Every structure is written in structure tokens, then in C-alpha cells.
Chains A and B, each alone.
Chain A
Amino acid sequence: MLIRGKVVKIGDNIDTDLIIPGRYLQITEIDELKEHVFEDLGEVLREKITPGTILVAGENFGCGSSREQAPRVLKAAGVSAIVAKSFARIFLRNSINIGLPIFVSPEVVENVLERTEVEIDTQKGVINVLHDDKNYYFDPYPEFLEELVGMGGLVNFVKSQVNKHKRRP
């Protein structure tokens, strides 16, 4: 899978309350909820998030609660992938489960500048900076997770497993 977009950078320990404040979590419509993404971090950041954005973050991105709305609002707001030095466990899992591709690459975080256009090859584990053709590498997903993300997330994967079992003689 190839993902192409412009980089928006953000810092360390960005918690789920900063991604989507808890005060809005009784809203069940994602299109309504996405209007509040990064609300407490100000308009400047929010205006940078446009369709195709590749979010590049520091350490422990997505720490805090288990709210799946955090990766969902990012995806709904236009984030096509996230690259970070590290991810909080639950956020990482939730992102994979909803089909939001996320990758660990400290080198990208250290070296790639805001608004740079990059292309991610998820199978090869390569992030290519388009303007200077520089490559950075990450561990690609194992086959099972690549398939899971490619199918749009866990539920589609699970349903395919259930159907497979149903079809068996």
C-alpha cells in the first residue's frame, strides 16, 4: 500500500484528551466529533490538518484513555497515516483496528520538516521524502497486520474469518 501526503508535526506525549477532549465524547456521529479534533491545541494546528495529512509525532503519541474516537477523528479529519517515535499501546492497537496506518520511525521525526511531501510504502517499510528522494526505513507490519489494515480494519478481518469458517464443509 502506498500513502502520499504532506507532513504536519506535533510533539511528545500527545494524549487522547488533546486529540479529542473528553467533554465531547457523548457525541456518537464522527463527522460532528471531528470538528473538535485538537481543539485545546489551538486553531493553527487544526487548520493544517487537511485530507491526506501525514501526522509526524514524538514519543508516546496517543497516551491516555482507550477511547477509539481518538484515531477515528484523526482519520475522519483527513489524516492518512501517523509516524512517531513511539505510540501508546492502546492508541496503536485502535489505529490498526480501524485501518489507520501508523509507523514507528524516530529518524523521520528527527529529520523530516513540516509541510514536506512524503510517500510511505507500507509493505517495503520505506518512507520516501519526495523533494530530495531521501529514504527512511521502518519495520513493516507482519503479514497478518498488513492484511488487517488493508481490509480496512479488524471487524472486516474478523467477518472474513467468520465467513471462511461458515464456508468450510
Chain B
Amino acid sequence: MGKTMIQKIIQRASGKEVKPGDRVWCNIDLSTARDFAGPNCVLQFDKETEGKGKVWNPDKIAFTFDLEAPSRSEQVANNQKLIREFAKRQGITKVFDVNWGIGQHVLLEHGLVKPGWVILGTDSHMNLLGAVGAFATGVGNTDIVASWILGKLWYRVPETVKIKVTGSFKKGVCMRDLLTKIVGTLGAGGLIYKAVEFVGPTIEKSNLAERITLCSMVTEMSGKIGLIQPNGEVLEWLKARAGEEAVELAEAIKADPDAVYSEEYEFNVDDLEPMVSAPDAPDNVKTVREVAGERLDQVHIGSCSNGRFEDIKAAFEVLKAANFKIAPGMRVIITPATREVMKQCAQAGFIEKFLDAGVIFTNPTCALCTAKHYGTLPSGDIGMSTTNRNFIGKVGKGSHTYLASPMTAMASAVRGVITDPREILG
């Protein structure tokens, strides 16, 4: 019987023949922690090893500072300092401080992510790295600490769901709309403890930013990982960053033609229209048409789901079509995923135009994925964001958030109410 991508990955990491349901210990290729849970990992590691412990392999550990970058309180500043000092003490050199951006994206850009690798992180959206065929999972600090001690972690081999995507997006519609449609169709618990393989012609011709978007919200369906077989320009990009080994590893994790899937779905995007996740759950999915005209107080474009250059460019095109005018009183925040993305935006001339239009263009961070960030919403305010969660009060107690694509978000910023981007793009 053939094997799925996740079976091949776990087989490589565990050295065992595996089938869904098996529990195995896997060797970890990269264990990462961010400034949010990282301090707890450090404190726990030092407590468990009585302050004398050495991590199993400093070259396979990385820290990213992306949630509060730069720090905005003494407590956060001290927490970040704790990580820096621990890294120095342990000889961990892969420390991406407050000037780099969103961890997963920074790791990708630095060639530290390869297809088939087993990667951990203290971020529930680590699994967006499945966009390049890596098995990355968000975990708690105990898993991180265990991996620092042993270099291994236990896994249950998940069943795999196959999602085939066909067709071409029409103007004003994009991968984020498809993702929202999938979340609405499968529901919040639709992929509990399952892996997903995204396949089909639409996926094969998609770019890295689109693949990141698609894999980023598998968590919102309670899935373990969304995997895409690297090919074409994505594989070339990986090869340039992570070396020739990335190509060999990509080949090694290809699903067998006779692999067994627990379920199979097919989505055609030819007639897909702009979608939103309405408050207060990612699977509360509606078409933009259904909620058009609802008032908004703030729009945010960015996050690990939609903070790449292509995402910001899509928003820019909508603003350009609206003669660079934003609705009076509308607060608009754009946050690039990484320093590299920010530079691309600068080189393309976007930043000046955004600023002239009244947009707040920030340094690269996770930004408005949670409260306590610049742009936290006051009680009663309604926001629209390209982030991946809109649980009640997540970006401010008593506030509510719609999730949407960068194009829908910018179109709504232009009009001041929820707006179908096709109305502006023509």
C-alpha cells in the first residue's frame, strides 16, 4: 500500500515503517521558540536541568522575536533579554531579534526550512511551513523543553485528507478566499488530528505566498499539518535558499500514487467569490455580498497568513484603483511579514503611496493577531483583518473582527464599510 506525504516524512524522522494511528519518536530537525512562549521554555529548561543543562544541539535550535517587536513593556523586555542570554550561554546562534519579522517566514527566507523536515515552534501556525513540504507543528513549552533535552519528540501518525483544487481565480478573488471557503465547508473541528495534502492544477501553479496562505489556517480546522509538494518556482526558490538538498528531500516525500486518504474533497475556484469569516469564529463563513455595507472602524493587512509581498501588492492595486483614497476616519494598518518583504515594498514604491493615503505602515511583526499590540481595538469597535483568528475579544475586549483577503480588506478601507473588491477593481 502506498504512503502519503506525512507517512514518508515521519518514516524518515523515526526510522520506522509507519501507518496512521502509530505513535513514534521522531528526530527533530529544528526546534524553535518565539518571544511569546520562549521565556517560559527557558525558565522550564533551567528548572528541569537545575540551571546546568546543555541543549542537545544548539545548531538545531532557533529563537524568533515577532510578537512584541520591539518590546513595549519592561516585562516583555526582560523576557526577551532572558532568551538572548540563554542563547548566548547555550551557543545558540540562530537568534532572529526584534528587527527581523514573523518567525516562520524569517526561517524560510534564511534557508532553515527544508521539505520533509520535522520542525517545532511555540506558535500554533508553525504548520504554514507545510507550504514547502515541511512537517512543522505548533507545540507548548513542555514539548520544546523535551526536544531541547532529547532531540526527539513523540507523534501520532495522522490520517491524511486530500484536497484537490481546480480552476482559475477571477479578478478580485484569491487564495485567501478559497481558504475561507474551505474553513467554512470543513468547520472548526473538520480536520481534528489529520494531515492535509493540497493538490491539483491550481495548487501546482500557485506561488509561495499563496501556498503559505493555504497552509496557514489548517490549525483553524484543528488539523495537524497542511502539505504541498514543492515544485516549479517554489522549488527553485527553496533551492536558492536552502541548497540542493531541498530538491532531493522534496522528491523523497512525494505521495505515492496509491496512497490511502481518509477523505477527499474537490474545490473549483472558477466561480469563487470574495469570502469573509464573520465574528466571532473563523468557520463563521459568509460571502462578502452577504455582509456588504457593514460598518468597520479599522482594517489590518498582514500576519503569517497574508503578510508576503504579493499580499501587500494585491492591497496596493485596490488602493491604486481607488485613486489612493481611504474612507474618512478609517484606521488602516499594514504590517509586512519580514524585513525582506518590507524592503520589497520600499523598492516597489508602495510605502510612500500607502503613507500618503494615511495608512500606518509598520515594522515587520505578528502585529494584530492578539491584543496588546499597536492597533488593539476598543470595546464595541469592528475590525477587518487578514489574520487567521477572530475569536471574541482576541484583539481587544468587547471588539469583533471579520477575517478577509488583502483585497477585500483594502476595498473595505476605501469605502469604510465591508466592500467587494471587484466593485473597485472593475
B-binding residues in A (CB < 8 A): 13, 15, 17-18, 21-23, 25-26, 28, 40, 59-60, 63-69, 71, 86-90, 92-94, 97-98, 142, 144-145, 153-155, 158-159, 161-162
Q: When A and B form their complex, which 3 residue pairs have the shortest distance between CB atoms, in order from nearest? A: A68-B140, A66-B138, A94-B140
Q: Is there an interface contact between B222 and A17, defined as CB atoms closer than 8 Å?
A: no
Contact B139 A93 (CB under 8 A): yes
Question: Are A155 and B371 in contact (CB-based, < 8 A)?
Answer: no
* Residue in chain A with minimal CB distance to B79: A26
Q: A17-B393, A86-B192, A158-B150 are in contact. Are A23 and B372 (CB under 8 A)?
A: yes
Q: Most chain-A CB neighbours within 10 Å: which of B39, B140, B392?
A: B140
CB <8 Å contact, A162 and B149: yes
Cα–Cα distance between A28 and B38 once the two chains are bound (Å): 11
A-B residue pairs in contact (CB < 8 Å), sample of 8: A22-B394, A23-B397, A28-B39, A66-B121, A66-B124, A68-B142, A97-B140, A154-B154
On chain A, the residues within 8 Å of B419 by CB distance are none
Q: Are B222 and A66 in contact (CB under 8 A)?
A: no
Given contacts A13-B281, A89-B192, contact A94 B142 (CB under 8 A): yes
Q: Does B23 contact A (CB under 8 A)?
A: yes
What's the Cα separation between A94 and B389 when bound, in Å? 20
Q: Is the CB of B142 within 8 A of A154?
A: yes
* B355-375 vs A, Cβ < 8 Å mask (1 yes, 0 no): 000000000000000111000
Q: A40-B392, A89-B193, A162-B150 are in contact. Are A66 and B37 (CB under 8 A)?
A: yes
| Smallest beta-carbon distance B232→chain A, Å | 31
Given contacts A158-B149, A159-B48, whether A88 and B36 have CB atoms under 8 Å apart is: no
Q: A66-B122, A88-B192 are in contact. Are A155 and B140 (CB under 8 A)?
A: no
| Contact size range, B | 35 or more
The 8 Å CB contact of A155, one of B146, B219, B397, is: B146
B323 located at the interface, meaning its Cβ lies under 8 Å from any Cβ of chain A in the complex: no
Interface contact B189-A64, CB-CB below 8 Å: no
Contact of A86 with B76 in the complex, beta carbons under 8 Å:
no
| Chain A residue nearest to B71 in the complex (CB) | A26
Chain A-chain B contacts (Cβ-Cβ < 8 Å), number: 123
With A17-B391, A159-B149: A90-B139 Cβ-Cβ less than 8 Å: yes
CA distance A21 to B149 in the complex (A): 30
Q: Which residues of B contact A162 (CB under 8 A)?
A: 149-150
A89 to B191, CA, bound (A): 10
Q: Residues of A contacting B76 with CB < 8 Å?
A: 26
CA distance A97 to B123 in the complex (A): 17
**What distance in Å separates the Cβ of B297 from its nearest Cβ neighbour in chain A?**
19
Given that A63-B188, A90-B139 are known contacts, is A26 also in contact with B75, CB under 8 Å in the complex? yes
Return the chain A residue nearest B396 by Cβ: A23
| Chain B contacts for A90, CB-based, 8 A | 124, 137-140, 219
Q: CB < 8 Å: which of B48, B139, B372 contacts A66?
A: B139
- Shortest CB-to-CB span from B101 to chain A, Å, is 19
Residues on the A chain within 8 Å of B145, using CB: 155
Q: Which A residues lie within 8 Å of B126 (CB)?
A: 66
CA distance A42 to B396 in the complex (A): 16
By a CB distance below 8 angstroms, the chain A residues around B370 are 22-23
Residues in B neighbouring A18, C-beta threshold 8 A: 391-392
